């Protein structure tokens, strides 16, 4: 399985890959470099690359629960500066842009972004699919429930069937528009209860019927720290454990804050499966 990230480059997904989170927001729930100097930003990006990041995912508008999105103008001001810096210093890096706004995606692609990562799956901006189709880039399609499904529904397959239906409908639309490379993200933490998040993680392999790469973004999220009565800073071990479960169930890309830990998990997973 491969992603065509540019006219002459392919990302081979036959082995799992790591997407490093590069936040240039001012209010993310964990790490954020929005108020840092250019030197600090580039130093952190260099570290992620040195530790084995396969993709850099730059976000300039926080989508954490309870946050108020910045304006498109402010998002682009933050994003464009970071994107130009990273592109000039790391020209060979595969760069994803985390945005739900089509105008921001359009401008980012013109500046050299390779992938669009839309946490709302096109539901917040009906021009997004058109932008992605026009530029012919991979698109991360996220299942983001606007409101949590009732608790009683978790005893059945409601959450899973709703997610599958969403992905199938959106894949049909995107493929008809000519978007060949679509990555599926179950959207852990977006409009789902803790129990629903774990139900999706447990049965992640159900997405294999859609024949598309799977991205998992669980890193330090509330589904980990709430049951443990901990903070995001304290749940790196839980993040590694959850990522390993995701790998066992077919994840192709891990979106993480901690690149080295994710690469180690992938190495152990790969070695174990070579022995079988």
Active site residues: 221, 255
| Residue whose C-alpha is closest to residue 117's, from 97, 94, 135 | 97
β-sheet bridge partners, residue 141: 118, 184
Rounded CA separation 34/205 (Å): 36
Rounded CA separation 174/144 (Å): 17
**H-type alpha helices, 9-101:** 38-50, 72-89
Rounded CA separation 160/199 (Å): 8
Rounded CA separation 124/102 (Å): 9
Read off the DSSP letter of residue 36. Answer: S
Look-up of token digits 């959450």: 159
Q: Is the separation of the CB atoms in 85 and 37 below 8 Å? A: no
Looking only at the bridges linking them, the beta strands covering 182-185 and 215-216 are unpaired
Rounded CA separation 203/161 (Å): 11
């Amino acid at each position: 399985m491969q992603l065509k990230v540019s006219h002459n480059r392919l990302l081979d997904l036959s082995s799992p890959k790591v997407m490093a989170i590069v936040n240039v927001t001012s209010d993310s729930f964990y790490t954020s470099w929005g108020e840092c100097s250019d030197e600090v930003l580039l130093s952190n990006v260099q570290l992620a690359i040195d530790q084995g990041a396969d993709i850099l995912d730059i976000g300039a508008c926080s989508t954490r629960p309870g946050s108020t999105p910045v304006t498109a103008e402010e998002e682009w001001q933050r994003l464009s500066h970071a994107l130009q810096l990273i592109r000039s210093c790391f020209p060979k890096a595969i760069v994803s842009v985390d945005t739900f706004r089509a105008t921001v995606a359009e401008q980012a692609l013109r500046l050299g972004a390779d992938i669009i990562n839309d946490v709302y799956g096109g539901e917040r901006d009906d021009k997004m699919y058109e932008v992605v189709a026009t530029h012919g880039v991979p698109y991360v399609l996220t299942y983001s429930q606007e409101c949590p499904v009732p608790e009683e529904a978790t005893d059945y397959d409601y959450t899973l069937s709703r997610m599958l239906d969403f992905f199938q409908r959106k894949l049909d639309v995107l493929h008809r528009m000519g978007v060949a490379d679509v990555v599926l993200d179950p959207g852990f933490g977006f409009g789902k209860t803790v129990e629903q998040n774990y139900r999706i993680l447990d049965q992640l392999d159900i997405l294999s019927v859609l024949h598309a790469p799977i991205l998992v973004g669980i890193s330090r999220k509330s589904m980990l720290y709430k049951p443990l009565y901990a903070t995001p800073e304290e749940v790196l071990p839980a993040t590694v454990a959850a990522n390993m479960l995701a790998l066992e169930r077919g994840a192709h890309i891990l979106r993480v804050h901690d690149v080295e830990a994710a690469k180690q998990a992938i190495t152990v997973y790969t070695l174990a499966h070579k022995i079988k």
